[in-house]
Each structure stands twice: as structure tokens, then as C-alpha cells.
A = this chain, B = another copy of it.
């Protein structure tokens, strides 16, 4: 039933693009992620596995439809990310993890590869779509990054949809908070020296990268951050250069994982710098940063990468990463584990 629906959706998306074939159009492509981590086949029921695949499929096809209709890479990644923000499956928007104080503090950022325009919000609590807020900052302010109450006030002024913080609540994340807090309080929680591997942080940040028919690439990322985070902690997702980067001359990247390591290695921008200055492919640059730079430091996670030719790479150094893509030939890939 679900399968039929998805096939219908895909057909509809493609027919919306009119009679033009891939050969007649400039290449377009999109990739998305829904977080990386200890995602083993043994840990997901067949129903959970299918639910993730269905939602990833829905999101990537929605973004692809925008591109096939001549929409911008920015519109495409917003379309894909908003679907994942609205889904309780991912740690972004609805389903975001809880802070130490049992609230949700959301972060998002976006960047365009042709102009290097960028926008980000950090620590927002009642904006329905953080990625839409990041875009509003990019398009309608002279600033790149707004935070906290100020970012909220800006969103209200911009007429963005606002919700109660409880809008993002899910039972599953509340249980995760209780579990993490119990473990942290067993140890010396004041120092917060806790091995993320010992607790189910779930990561689950979402993101998208896309190439549009005008040859422009863009990247966006949205997250609830880290379970039980305190002290106004800001991770890599709203940091331009760490969690998100886009430059037509190299690549566009959205990251997911243990944010502190991604900041300390400016992961998104570094991958593109390697492409730009070393002349390596996005696949090579991504693999090097994930396996040779991050992993030895203990920095677990993954990235999705696209370049202006529509090449896609989705490297990660964890057991799995929720991910999907539609390449320049229209081929759809949806995968969770290392093999698929």
C-alpha cells in the first residue's frame, strides 16, 4: 500500500516536470540525510526500517520534484528538509531531542553556492520550521546567524509559523532524555565528561544538498542537537563551515554526527577546500575527512556531498546513516546501513 503510494508520488513528481527527459534538461540531483549513528539492522524492526525508508523517499522525491520543475536548489532542499522536520522519526522539528531542562532548542543553517549567501538560527524554541527561519535570515536580514530570543523575534517579524515548544514533543525522545540524565547523574555530571557512545544520543540531524538546472548548489541542515544538552550548547548544524557549506566552485555539504568534532575540524568547508585546492573528488575528500581525520579523534558521523556536476557522495564512519538521493539520471537510492 505504502509502496504503491510512493511509486505514485514518484510518477507524479516526474510527470510534473513535463515531457522533458533528463537528456533535454540541465542535470539536477539531490541527496538527503536523516542522521548517522549506531544504526544496525538488528536494532530496527522491519516496520521501523520501512517507516524510515518511506519518509526518506518522500522527502527526497519532494525535493527532486522542485528541481525537475525548474525550482532552485534552495527551494529543493527546503522542501526535503521540511518533510523531515515535520516527521517524528528524525531529531529535527517534531521529534527533536530534549535539553537538560526538558525543552527543545533547535538549530538550522542554509547556504547557497553561487553567492555564498548563508543564514542560520541557533537555540530557537517555537519556530515551526527552523530551516525556513535560517532561510529568512539569509534572504531578509544583513546577518548570517541569529540566536535565541532574538532569532524568535525576527521570525515573528518575518511572519513565520510559530508553535508551542511542546509541538516538538515525542514520547520516544522523553524516554531518551530520562535515560541520558540518569547516566549523567550517575557520573560526575558537572564535568559532563561522558562518552557519547555509552548513551543513545541518536544524533538524527537532517540535511539536504542539491544541484538545480541553473548549475547552482545549496546545502541545509536542521537539528534538535544533543539529548540532555545544557548551557545553551551550540553544535555544528548552525555553524556555516562546520555543519553546512556550499560553494559552486567546489561542493555543497550537510553534516550529521558528534557536533563538537565537526566544529573542531570545520568538516563541511574542509571537504570543499580539499576539492578546491587539492583537486580531489568529493568522494575522496569526504572519505578522507570521515575516516582519516574524524574517526581517529573519535568524531563519529557522516556527510552528504554534491558538486556542480551533480556527483553525489554520502560517506559516514558509523554503523549506518539514514540517507537518500536522486542522481542526475533520475535514479533513486534510499539506504540506512552500510550495505544499503
Contacts and interface: CB of A to CB of B under 8 A. Distances in A.
Nearest to A117: B264
A145 B263 contact: yes
A209 to B, nearest CB: 17
A297 B144 CA distance: 15
Contacts of A148: 123, 147-148, 232
Interface stretch (A22-30, A171-179, A233-241, A319-327): A233-241
A240 to B, nearest CB: 5
B147 A123 contact: yes
B232 A140 contact: no
A118 interface: yes
Interface stretch (A1-9, A69-77, A268-276): A268-276
Nearest to A297: B116
A234 B264 contact: no
B269 A240 contact: no
Interface stretch (A12-20, A40-48, A190-198, A301-309): A190-198
Main secondary structure of the interface of A (DSSP, over half): mixed
Contacts of A235: 145
Contacts of A143: 192, 229, 231, 233, 260
A147 to B, nearest CB: 4
Nearest to A112: B264
Which bucket holds chain A's interface residue count? 35 or more
A340 interface: no
Contacts of A117: 264
B192 A116 contact: no
A147 B144 contact: no
Interface in A214-254: 229-235, 239-242, 245
Given A142-B193, A263-B241, A230 B270 contact: no
Interface stretch (A31-39, A82-90, A151-159): A151-159
Contacts of A145: 233-235, 239, 263
A141 interface: yes
Contacts of A123: 147-148
A125 B234 CA distance: 17
A122 interface: yes
Contacts of A191: 140-141
Contacts of A192: 141-143
Contact of A270 (B157, B233, B269): B269
Contacts of A142: 192-194, 260
B146 A116 contact: no
Contact of A240 (B193, B263, B273): B263
A231 B154 contact: yes
Contact of A146 (B144, B146, B232): B232
A259 B142 CA distance: 11
A257 to B, nearest CB: 13
Top 10 A-B pairs, shortest CB-CB distance: A150-B232, A150-B231, A277-B277, A241-B266, A147-B232, A273-B273, A145-B234, A154-B231, A241-B241, A146-B231
Given A143-B233, A150-B233, 13 more contacts: A116-B297, A118-B264, A122-B122, A142-B192, A142-B194, A146-B234, A147-B232, A153-B231, A239-B239, A240-B266, A245-B266, A269-B270, A277-B278
